[in-house]
A and B are shown apart, each in its own frame.
Chain A
Amino acid sequence: MSETIQAADLTRDIPAEIREPFGAYLLYLGDDALVLGHRLSEWCGHGPTLEEDIALANIALDLVGRSDALLRVAAQLEGKGRSEDDLAFFRDATEFRNAALVELPRGDFAFTIVRQFLYDAYALPLYTHIAANATGALSGIAAKAVKETTYHLRHTAEWVRRFGGGTAESKRRAQDALDELWRYTGELFDEDAVTVALAGAQWIPNPSVLRAAWSETVERVLDEADLAAPAVKHHFTGARSGRHTEHLGHLLSEMQIVARSHPGASW
């Protein structure tokens, strides 16, 4: 096991001075992708049409694949002999570092799409920056994420416009989703010791720059959809340091039960 890991050291290009914050940040990225991918996978077999069912499953697979790659690097950086699967299936809720936005129950189709849209508008400029500024394995993972997310955003933005320009009910449901989700978006741009250190080293965008890029995309699409960005005074925060909503534990109990019931199983 340790020989395999040494054979492909994915962390060798990460400068010594940012290895610690980057290890923490990889859990932000990897857990966002894993938890959101799992939420999307809940639609499998329940999508509104056969085509959209496949589209959601495709996006879910992209996200789970992304988390697999990111958590593999995170596990190597951690250096405790854990694998990406250990991180995904044997951590408890308080050890997850995803933003609360991605753990909220999937809701109706409008809620799922609006949430995915808000995430995609964040992920695209984020991974674009990482692809251009990070080195080694991270740059490659980010470049793949950019390619995938470019399509995800095209798909979800198209749906947001359809909701807004569709029926009174589709518009109401999209606006309800926005009103509910908006207070969870601020956390994506929170500054903490990890993001400040990495932004200082240019590996990730400055949170305020990232927020500006996100706002530009979101405002443009909401404007086209004739939907309103809600005004929120206080945003939810704390999930990045392990203080999650009640929903993450339930999600993990379902996602982790097979791995925990049969530890070490393979197929």
Chain B
Amino acid sequence: MTDTVLYEVFLQLKQGGAHEHAGSVRATDDEMALQNARDVYARRFHPLSIWVVRSENITGSAPGDTGPFFDPGDDKPYRHPSFYTVPRGVRDV
């Protein structure tokens, strides 16, 4: 079992919620990755759904990207959708 690859695991914990990153597992293929994710992460968190994706298929930003990528647009108030009210009872927006 030396030819395993790394998968990232995402769990959906509530109906309509986002799949959130939980960790990673090693596996030889998608079905083994799904089963391993279930065994390593699902028994404690009771998710509704699990996604696994090969880590190599994720493209990430580089550490040097911090400034240009992430500086908040606080000087551009039109970017913040804070000018309308959200109906009561609406969550997770």
List the interface of chain A (C-beta within 8 A of B): 48-52, 54-55, 58, 151, 154-155, 158
Q: Is the CB of A51 within 8 A of B43?
A: no
Q: Is the CB of A48 within 8 A of B39?
A: no
In the assembly, what is the distance between CA of A21 and CA of B1, in Å? 47
Interface size on B, residues (CB 8 A): 13
25 contacts between A and B (CB under 8 A): A48-B1, A49-B1, A49-B4, A49-B26, A50-B40, A51-B25, A51-B26, A51-B27, A51-B36, A51-B39, A51-B40, A52-B36, A54-B39, A54-B40, A55-B35, A55-B36, A55-B39, A58-B39, A58-B43, A151-B38, A154-B35, A155-B35, A158-B31, A158-B32, A158-B35
* Chain B residues within an 8 Å CB radius of A55: 35-36, 39
The residue on A at minimum CB distance from B28 is: A162
The residue on B at minimum CB distance from A48 is: B1
The residue on A at minimum CB distance from B32 is: A158
If A49-B4, A158-B31, A158-B35 are given as contacts, then 11 extra A-B residue pairs at C-beta distance below 8 Å, sorted by A number, are: A50-B26, A50-B40, A51-B25, A51-B36, A54-B39, A54-B40, A55-B35, A58-B43, A151-B38, A154-B35, A155-B35
* Chain A residues within an 8 Å CB radius of B38: 151
Interchain nearest-CB distance for A160 vs B (Å)? 13
* Chain A residues within an 8 Å CB radius of B32: 158
Interchain nearest-CB distance for A108 vs B (Å)? 14
In the assembly, what is the distance between CA of A49 and CA of B25, in Å? 10
In the assembly, what is the distance between CA of A52 and CA of B43, in Å? 14
In the assembly, what is the distance between CA of A151 and CA of B43, in Å? 12
In the assembly, what is the distance between CA of A155 and CA of B39, in Å? 10
The residue on B at minimum CB distance from A109 is: B1
